Amino acid sequence: MNEDLKDKTLDELEQTVVDLGQKKYLAGYIFDFIHVQGASEVSQITPLSKAFRAQLIEQGYHISGLELANKLTDKDGTIKYVFALDTGRIETVLLHDGGRKTLCVSTQVGCAMGCRFCATAKIPFQQNLTAGQIVDQVNLVCSVPVRASRSTDSLPVIQNHGRDAHVTETPHGVTTNRISNIVYMGMGEPLANYGAVLKSLRILNHPKGKNIGIRHITVSTCGLVPAIRRLADEDMLPRLAISLNAPTDELRTRLMPIGAKYPIADLLAAVRFYQSRTRQRVTFEYVMIRDMNDLAEHAKMLLKRLEGISYNVNLIEHNPFPGCEFAGSSGARIKQFASILDRAGIETTVRFRMGRGIKAACGQLGAGWLNEQGGPAE
């Protein structure tokens, strides 16, 4: 039995409350106090009677919480949060992009996908995170102790989906800031932890919780074809991003072992199926690796390969980490690649180096842990 109240959707909390002989509406208080008010103990959920709170505690129900081990701030404003677990650690990154505040969350400790350009892939897979642990990354970044809210180390005020930012003080001594976007692009492969990821989407999207719009949530995958098709049949349809990184199966498999299991043709068929259900553009992520996948001919092959799909492209400068065999493409090579896509009418964004100074850039999560384990210096 799962006694972690943070790991339950509102529907699951309602069932729990009813099973304990209480009125269903009381679940709404539990959900609100955990995900809006910032309660960390069952005893803090004061709308519940003392007797019911005692009953919950006696039967082992609790509110889990991640342990913040470190917080690092880059000169570009990127903030990395390091959370300690018994099996290792995870990292969560807050990105500032104009008026938007985007939080990149992790879904696993380590990763089993083995992508050769990614630091996290060097860390052996240890565990899937629970939905509660995924959600808690958002809850903790959104919450700042009142006593620290005016210090230089406090989180910035965050825009609320284009509206004026707001800060609210809760009964439990925290100010809550609003995050614009959530991206499941941190440590681990989200669709390899399908159940917990989907449950966390339901919790974060719920109007009685964080109320983050589903169109403001993106799930990134290295290309688990069955899971993409499964996700297309859900009633919860986030934006989809595909880590592609090559226009041919041979090259993609050299970079990403998953390519041997799911060829590009099968992956794109699943993407088209997902689009048929969502009517949304898909983002293709393409890490630019010097003399590997960054030639003009690669850009032209990519355009040919993606014909018939509604998409945009994020070109990501490869970021170094200890022991990596690759180097990032030159600025000129990236500009040339982008211009070929632009001329074909493809919306193309170039992602440069945000958070690199604190090893928080794309592909660097876990790089600090590699250093601690004696990996070679950059």
- Catalytically active residues are 91, 362
Give a three-class secondary structure readout of the chain: CCCEHHHCCHHHHHHHHHHCCCCCCHHHHHHHHHHCCCCCCHHHCCCCCHHHHHHHHHCCCECCCCEEEEEEECCCCCEEEEEEECCEEEEEEEEEECCEEEEECCCEECCCCCCCCCCHHHCCCCEECCHHHHHHHHHHHHEEEHHHCCCCCCCCCCCECCECCCCEECCCCEEECCCCEEEECCCCCHHHHHHHHHHHHHHHHCCCCCCCCHHHEEEEECCCHHHHHHHHCCCCCCEEEEECCCCCHHHHHHHCCHHHHCCHHHHHHHHHHHHHHHCCCEEEEEEEECCCCCCHHHHHHHHHHCCCCCEEEEEEECCCCCCCCCCECCHHHHHHHHHHHHHCCCCEEEECCCCHHHCCCCCCCCHHHHHHCCCCCC
